[in-house]
Amino acid sequence: MGAVILGTGSCLPQKELSNQDLEKLVETSDEWILSRTGISTRRISGKGEEAFQLGTSAAKKALAMANVMADDIDLIIVATMSSHMSMPSCACFVQKELGATKAFAYDVNAACSGFLFALDSGDKYLRVEKGKKILVIGTETLSSRTNWKDRNTCILFGDGAGAAVLEYQESEQGIVASSLFSDGTLWNLLYMHSAPSCNPDLEQAGNPGNYILMEGREVFKYAVKAMEAAINDLLLKEHVNIEAIDLMIPHQANIRILKKLVTRLGIKKEKVFINVHKYGNTSAGSIPIALDEANREGCLKRGDLLLVCSFGGGFTWGATLVRW
């Protein structure tokens, strides 16, 4: 049918940063953060926990579950916007760390939707290059792109990575289809500058620094509507009713966004996997981390219909159906 997920893995940094810890950094409270976002704590990278290192650990676990050797991998796609270097790509560092000598490797930047976009690219690649194996990874260290003095944003994000090994199979299993979207006209509601330009003519006026800026309320409204629309588009296209979904794994941004989405879709809340309370919003890491947890906790059994959806800066958003 399409690309089958042979194995999943995830890696979270050691260090926790709780809401109580954040109370010491900015004027906020555990009660405010929990009631507005559903987040209690998040993980923050320390030394040796760069995006490529978290991604590599997640990939090793996914390879072990899939029983695939690193040098059997043909392609590595990494979704990230917080690699320690702009060049080489994070994917090339992961390739080096894994010793995946046969693989070519590149990054995808679709902000929080990065993993879904990368998964779709991987699926399309495998439908042409049958017989190959690929690694799709979402990894972020947004702690390195956070203004720790801005209480509007610093409470939301966390670091982490997840990975999946894919292979094309002629079976009922695999990625069924995706509906993916972007709208660059809304870039200014959620964005992050690059490092300052060396060319004065290309210097961005008012570049405040290399960190996330956001119009939270607007993002909230668009996120709910856009994910709902993408899911409905996909379900209509594939002639699938929402009742047929066995598990939904949404991008873990905010519990209030998810509750609104769940109500509008009419899906039973027991079918929705949530871990935002533990890790905050890990951007491109969020879906593969949740997918790995759901998989290892036995929430998915063969033949289940899995619905995944995301929303992020760009704006970028989408939904994917997977027959497990």
Residues touching ligand ACO: how many (CB under 6 A)? 23
190 binds ligand ACO (CB under 6 A): yes
Q: In what order do the strands lie in the sheet with 305-312?
A: 174-182, 316-323, 305-312, 247-250
Beta strand 305-312 pairing with 133-141: unpaired
CB of 112 to ligand ACO, least distance (A): 4
Residue with the two structure tokens 């300052």:
196
Residue 204 amino acid letter:
Q
312 binds ligand ACO (CB under 6 A): yes
Residue with the two structure tokens 């320690």:
84
Distance in angstroms (rounded) separating the CA atoms of residues 240 and 10:
30
Instruction: Give the DSSP H/E element, type plus range, for residue 45.
Output: none
CB of 23 to ligand ACO, least distance (A): 9
Q: Which of 11, 90, 109, 251 is catalytic?
A: 251
CB of 13 to ligand ACO, least distance (A): 19
CB of 175 to ligand ACO, least distance (A): 22
214 binds ligand ACO (CB under 6 A): yes
- Decide if 281 is catalytic: yes
By CB under 6 A, name the one of 17, 65, 105, 219 that touches ligand ACO. 219
By CB under 6 A, name the one of 65, 94, 112, 176 that touches ligand ACO. 112
Q: Residues 291, 164: contact at Cβ < 8 Å?
A: yes
253 binds ligand ACO (CB under 6 A): yes
- Decide if 112 is catalytic: yes
32 binds ligand ACO (CB under 6 A): yes
300 binds ligand ACO (CB under 6 A): no
Q: Which is nearer to ligand ACO, 20 or 171 (CB)?
A: 20
Q: Which is nearer to ligand ACO, 94 or 118 (CB)?
A: 118
Q: Which residues contact 196 (CB under 8 A, 6 or more apart)?
A: 203, 207
39 binds ligand ACO (CB under 6 A): no
Strand, helix or coil for residue 30: helix
Q: Residues 4, 171: contact at Cβ < 8 Å?
A: yes
Cis peptide before 88 (omega within 30 of 0): yes
DSSP state for residue 271 in the 8-state scheme: G
Measured distance between the N- and C-terminal CA atoms of the chain, rounded to whole angstroms: 11
CB of 20 to ligand ACO, least distance (A): 13
Quickly list H helices, the chain. 19-23, 30-37, 51-66, 90-98, 114-128, 216-237, 255-265, 276-279, 286-296
224 binds ligand ACO (CB under 6 A): no
CB of 177 to ligand ACO, least distance (A): 22
Q: Residues 281, 115: contact at Cβ < 8 Å?
A: no
* CB-closest chain residue to ligand ACO: 216
Catalytic positions, please? 112, 251, 281
The binding site for ligand ACO (CB under 6 A) comprises: 28, 32-33, 36-37, 112, 151-152, 155-156, 190, 214, 216-217, 219-220, 223, 251, 253-254, 281, 311-312
